[in-house]
Amino acid sequence: MVRKSKIPVYLWRRLSQLLFFALFLFLFIKTDYSGSDELEYAVNILFRIDPLLALAAIFAGKTMVALMLPALITLVFTFVSGRSFCGWICPMGTLVDGAAAVIRPPQGTAGNDLRAVKYYLLVFILVAAFLGLPLAGYLDPFSLLVRAFSFALYPAFDFAVSSFFGFTYLHAPDWVNAALEPVYEFLKNSILPFTHRVYGLSLFSLLLFAMVLVLNHWQRRFFCRNLCPLGGLLALVSRFSLLAAHGGNEDCGKCRKCRTICRMGAIDEERRISTADCNLCLDCLALCPRNRIHLSFHRPPLTAGSCGMSRRAFVGTVATGALLPLFLQGRPFTRRPDPQLIRPPGALPEEEFLGRCVRCGECMKVCIGNALHPAFLEAGIEGMFTPMLRSRIGYCEYNCTLCGQVCPSGAIKKLTLPDKHAQVIGRAFFDKNLCLPYAKGIPCIVCEEHCPTPDKAIKFREQQVINARGETVTVLQPFVVDELCVGCGICENKCPLPGRAAVRVTSEGEARQAGGGHFL
């Protein structure tokens, strides 16, 4: 039996939350280029210990995913200590608790009739994944969090800091700049990204994250109680956990302080504590005036219907998860993919890639050239937030293999540099109605100058043309050698034309191999 210590238990929990959130921020910041093509840390470890993403990837691929075996640690930890992962470790839970300090949600257990929703979402996600519709990354707390930080908060922070120091450099006295220079040097070397980045769907990602926090207005930890599918999975395991909180015995004074303070609504009218809902925050243990609440490795008996799921709703959820993928397979997209949908080098074949990708945004954050961006509907609803190349914004750096290193599920294979150089992700082509040497007889060799392949994939033909002034001139007209082009997109990115580039890259000719090397 574990009782109160001299140091209040909530202080231990807060310390744990702060430490793990600091770890999250550290790994997040280190998911970047730092002068070497090899990352120093296992920056994707939080995703690899996520059992929801692991199960979804396994169900979608119909095989074990070796990279995500660390998720077993979380399941074993949950079997021993219940949903303490949610209360002591999860960075999203930490931010939700922090938001509650500002939003001031109502206390008590009102609204617990919605807690079964997370189980329905869990069942729906796993059934849909098994039948080819991967949706786990949309609601997984780690994916939600990293997408919001990567696409919106971190770029905004970088812009604000850079703008501030840029302003002071131009307008502040020399002594101020001298004092601020080491501060900026520290931020640039330790916290700010390697390059300035922008992303599509940034506002949408931020709104989804903000919604998780704002839901505290209606109920404390609303997302964790009712909507989080990872929480639902851990709750199912927690029903059999060894360590549990106990209360409500004959010595209880029935003051109900424990029910009022419980952030998860885990305590019923009889002061019994649900192991499936309790995240072991231990606020009740600290506040009980009679010290009647305690921890012990003695699991309370399971109560009937503690999941709150009805048989009819369960069957309906399974049916929906099974039928929706079948319905979506009949769309025109499944027969003729969007040629603008260019995947990262090392990406698995499309169906396998969609099943394994957890929509975490790690590959997009680490991309040196800011080439990878979240897809919207280019790959259908199941492809939203998956990475795709947008060459007009950025390009795939020829000597970079970072995206494969950070992918937690093997959806993007880790490539050696020689393999990366040989990886074809698309082909470039010229629009002769826009290209200056073709359309106007104006010399331009920018695309060829930037082509990174040892034997240039862009070459020239010498042609005589009539320019806009009616003069006959000799110009070099570029063309693409398909056998040499890898589709990196740097030619499209560097094209000097405003707006639409005269040279563009499509997924034509892409070469993608199955990910057998990542399976057990």
Q: Distance between CA 57 and CA 448 in Å, rounded?
A: 41
Q: What integer pLDDT is reported at residue 520 of this predicted model?
A: 33
* Tokens linked to 147: 């997408």
Percent of the chain whose predicted confidence (pLDDT) is above 90: 57
Could you give the number of structural domains in the chain?
Answer: 2
Q: Is residue 348 part of a domain?
A: no
Q: Is residue 381 part of a domain?
A: no
Closest CA to 426 of 333, 332, 503, 336: 503
Residues 210, 70 within the same domain: yes
Q: What is the mean pLDDT of residues 53-73?
A: 87
- Per residue in 306-348, pLDDT tens? 577 788 888 888 898 888 887 776 555 555 678 889 999 999 9
- Residue 90: band (very low, low, confident or very high) from pLDDT cuts 50, 70, 90: very high
Domain final position from 268, 296, 324: 296
Q: Is residue 352 part of a domain?
A: no
- Per residue in 153-197, pLDDT tens? 999 999 999 999 999 999 989 999 999 999 999 999 999 999 999
Q: What integer pLDDT is reported at residue 515 of this predicted model?
A: 61
* Residues sharing a CB contact under 8 Å with residue 4, sequence separation 6 or more, in sequence order: 285, 286, 291
Domain final position from 296, 315, 338: 296
Radius of gyration of the chain (CA): 27
Residues 94, 240 within the same domain: yes
Q: Distance between CA 455 and CA 96 in Å, rounded?
A: 53
pLDDT for 248 beyond 70: no
CATH number at residue 440: 3.30.70
Residues 112, 260 within the same domain: yes
Q: Is residue 278 part of a domain?
A: yes
Domain final position from 276, 296, 316: 296
Q: What integer pLDDT is reported at residue 461 of this predicted model?
A: 92
- Per residue in 256-312, pLDDT tens? 788 888 888 888 877 788 888 899 988 888 778 777 787 888 666 655 445 777 888
Q: Distance between CA 38 and CA 401 in Å, rounded?
A: 8
Domain that holds residue 435: 424-507
- Per residue in 107-137, pLDDT tens? 665 556 788 999 999 999 999 999 888 899 9
Distances (CA, A) of 366 to 53, 286, 407, 426: 20, 43, 10, 21
Residues 433, 292 within the same domain: no
Helix, coil or strand: residue 295: strand
pLDDT for 1 beyond 60: no
Asked if 343 contacts 512 with a C-beta cutoff of 8 angstroms, the reply is yes
Alpha helices (runs of H) in 333-413, residue ranges in sequence order: 350-356, 362-366, 402-406
Average pLDDT, the chain: 87
Residues 220, 71 within the same domain: yes
Distances (CA, A) of 480 to 121, 418, 477: 48, 22, 10
Q: Is residue 412 part of a domain?
A: no
Q: Is residue 269 part of a domain?
A: yes
Q: Is residue 399 part of a domain?
A: no
Q: Is residue 92 part of a domain?
A: yes
- Crossing angle of helices 51-61 and 117-130, in 10° steps, is 30
